Amino acid sequence: MSVSRVELWSGRALLVALMAFTILPFISIFTTALHPSGTVPSGLEWPAEPQWSNFVEAFKVANMTTLLASSAFIVLAVVPVSLVISTMAGFAIGLLRIRGANVLLFLFVFGLTLPFPGIIIPIYFLERAIGIYNTRLAIVLPLIALYMPFAVFWMRAHFVNMPSEISEAARVDGATTWGLFWRIHVPLARAPLASLGILMSIWTWNQFLLALVLVEDPTQRTMAGALGAFQGHYATDIPLLCAGTILILLPTLVLFVLFQRQIITALLQGSIKG
Amino acid sequence: MPLVSSWRINPGKVIRRETLIGWIFVLPALLMYAVFVLVPFLLTFVYSFYRWTGVGAATWVGLKNYVTVFEVPDLLGTIINAFWLVVFFSFIPVGLGLVVASVIHRVATGRLGAVARTILFLPQVIPLVAAGIIWGWLLALPGLINQILRAIGLGAITRAWLGDFDWALPAVGLIGIWVLLGFCTVLLLTGMTKVDAALYESARIDGAGWFREFISITVPLLRYEIGVCLTVTVIAALAAFDIVYVSTAGGPGNATAVPGIQIYILAFTQRQIGLASALAVMLMILVVVVIVPIQWLTREVKQ
């Protein structure tokens, strides 16, 4: 390969520098989290006596057990429902010969361009009117709806590429449309369903704006929403804030390390298809 | 039984049946989408024509809220700030991402490249709120950035970056670069591996250097991937909320106020629902106006 030594080493140096740029912030909050609560250490400084108890303290004051339960509840309510209804819609638009399929597709794709802050105000008043404001449903229902453009588009992209012979063979065997969907096509769609599930779980866990506007009680929020509230209370106690942030990051980071390949692939495919 | 068989394959009848069943399949998704997205979308337009505090009666004011957005410098300023954020959230990550991806592609195809990919991608999976808090601390007066500057003899320029009128917006931009660089790099790298390796091989046999290869092969052939990166990052910039809310809340003054933040403040702390909605409508139009040309310019030519 005709890559010169200069290029080889300058290229590697650039990569190492950028990796340091990415990773140093994490190291900085980690060392800061180990300083005595209430002090103001400098950015990168190993403490004389590491205060591991800060994590225990943050776990208690951030109400971590409640938070984990609340976030898990929201993810478990949002993701399965979104998967089922978006797969049904994607199946109908992509695979069945229905009139108006193009209009439906356009209607959903249009939603991809809508920024959350653009429609948050009516959602707030709507939820006050129907009485779900300040409950977990206040986050769950709009999130399911906001995922529909992407999720329907994603599943349709899968179904539209399925060879029609599969459906025809099933029809000849007398399968109903529901049977065709549930017994034949859903099992074949496991890969795109898994990616979509991973994506929507991460997005839900990290959702902030909806939690901030629609739920006042931090213990009913998502992880990210609770982190915002935690910052409000402990902005002046930097070591404790860093410890809390690490605790809230930990579940996502662990998941990322475990399912790194799937998550990267899912996020990339997600943006390419979107 | 010719009659029966011709009835069975009558395409009109089949399509009508499938249409009915198909719409039943679409219904749950469509219903949720209509109630919590389409209706709010339309209501935002409706609200924008009224003066309303959120309780009691609303007064019709026509286009007055839009005039206000254009006349009040602090409101129009949020849109200008949003365009500045595009430079940091979009142009720099995509430009730098192209360079980094081509460097990985050329000199680090082994272990180093794989590790770099993973590490650079890391900020993409954490909540943006966490990114905001982390960088809020890094950019603070005693934080890591100033510590590094002092260590390399630039102690004179240290400051509380997020509290500085001139530097707060670029500082917020830096957070965006940190979050989005890895995403762009990895996406562009995936695109590069799809480009026929023989093309790169023959370029190298001809003695093409890094820059030459970059300009003549990488950039033109990655048009589609570049378009995707631009679309995702431009939307992230124009609709930015989480990072700004947590790191500066729009301050100091209005130095980092972007439409998302201003909409939130107007609607939920100042109770000016109509004005907030007018800004929201403008934000939604802005996103479409910016995204459509990008999509059109970088679309894949169908063969």
HEC string of B190-216 equals HHHHHCCHHHHHHHHHCCCCHHHHHHH
Average pLDDT over residues B279-293: 94
Write the pLDDT tens digit of every residue in A75-99. 999 999 999 999 999 999 998 888 8
Domain hosting B164: range is 73-298
> Which residues does chain B have within 8 Å of residue A121's beta carbon, measured at their own beta carbons?
40, 43-44, 47, 263, 267, 273, 276-277, 280
Domain with CATH 1.10.3720.10 in chain A: 64-237+249-273
Out of B144, B241, B280, the one facing A209 most closely (by C-beta) is B241
Label residue B6 exposed, middle or buried (CB < 10 Å: 0-12, 13-18, 19+): exposed
Contacting A residues, span 63-82, partner chain B, CB-CB under 8 Å: none
Alpha-carbon distance of A47 to A41, in angstroms, equals: 8
Out of A21, A151, A224, the one facing B127 most closely (by C-beta) is A224
Alpha-carbon distance of B204 to B117, in angstroms, equals: 24
Taking an 8 Å cut-off on Cβ atoms, the answer to whether A111 and B37 are in contact is yes
Helix (H) or strand (E) holding B98: helix B92-107
Which chain B residue's Cα is nearest to A205?
B127
Out of A3, A149, A227, the one facing B127 most closely (by C-beta) is A227
Q: What is the dihedral of CA A244, A249, A255, A261, to 10 degrees?
A: -160
Write the pLDDT tens digit of every residue in A208-256. 999 999 998 888 888 888 888 788 777 778 898 899 899 888 888 888 8
**ipTM associated with this complex:** 0.88
Residues B124 and B34 in one domain: no
Residue B59 phi/psi, 5-degree rounding, is: -110, 130
> Which residues does chain B have within 8 Å of residue A119's beta carbon, measured at their own beta carbons?
37, 40-41, 44, 280, 284
Residues B110 and B9 in one domain: no
- Mind giving me the DSSP string for A116-127? HHHHHHHHHHHH
Residues B165 and B234 in one domain: yes
Confidence at residue B138, expressed as pLDDT on a 0 to 100 scale: 93
Write the pLDDT tens digit of every residue in B12-26. 777 778 888 999 999
Identity of the residue numbered A14: L
Out of A29, A122, A231, the one facing B47 most closely (by C-beta) is A122
Tokens of A110: 């249009």
Residue B143 resides in a domain: yes
Residue B54 resides in a domain: no
Stated pTM of the model: 0.89
Identity of the residue numbered A236: T
Write the pLDDT tens digit of every residue in B139-180. 998 899 999 999 999 888 899 999 999 999 999 999 999 999
Taking an 8 Å cut-off on Cβ atoms, the answer to whether A141 and B32 are in contact is yes
Tally of domains within chain B:
2
Question: B265: helix, coil or strand?
Answer: helix
Q: Please say whether the beta carbons of A180 and A170 come within 8 A.
A: yes
Average pLDDT over residues A142-157: 93
- Residue A261 contacts B, CB cutoff 8 Å: no
Residue B66 resides in a domain: no
- Has residue B120 got a pLDDT over 80? yes
Taking an 8 Å cut-off on Cβ atoms, the answer to whether A19 and B115 are in contact is yes
Closest Cα in chain B, distance from residue A64 (Å): 16
Fold of the domain spanning A64-237+249-273: MetI-like fold (1.10.3720)
Which chain A residue's Cα is nearest to B119?
A19
Q: Of B291, B130, B142, B102, which Cα lies nearest the Cα of A245?
A: B130
Write the pLDDT tens digit of every residue in A8-22. 888 899 999 999 999
Out of A231, A241, A272, the one facing B228 most closely (by C-beta) is A272
CA angle B222, B224, B230 (to 5 degrees): 100
Tokens of B130: 């966490």
Alpha-carbon distance of B199 to B82, in angstroms, equals: 39
Residue B289 resides in a domain: yes
Confidence at residue A255, expressed as pLDDT on a 0 to 100 scale: 82
Comparing B80 with A1, the larger pLDDT belongs to: B80
Out of B25, B108, B232, the one facing A11 most closely (by C-beta) is B108
Strands B50-51 and B59-60: antiparallel
Average pLDDT over residues A2-31: 89
Closest Cα in chain B, distance from residue A200 (Å): 12
- With tokens 């179904």, the residue in question is A159
Confidence at residue A232, expressed as pLDDT on a 0 to 100 scale: 76
Residue B55 resides in a domain: no
Which CATH number belongs to the domain containing residue B101 in this structure? 1.10.3720.10
Taking an 8 Å cut-off on Cβ atoms, the answer to whether A113 and B291 are in contact is yes
- Residue A113 contacts B, CB cutoff 8 Å: yes
Residue B67 resides in a domain: no
Residues B40 and B84 in one domain: no
Confidence at residue B81, expressed as pLDDT on a 0 to 100 scale: 95
Residues B22 and B103 in one domain: no
- Has residue A260 got a pLDDT over 90? no
Alpha-carbon distance of B294 to B71, in angstroms, equals: 29
Closest Cα in chain A, distance from residue B11 (Å): 10
Which chain B residue's Cα is nearest to A5?
B107
Residues B104 and B144 in one domain: yes
> Which residues does chain A have within 8 Å of residue B116's beta carbon, measured at their own beta carbons?
15, 18-19
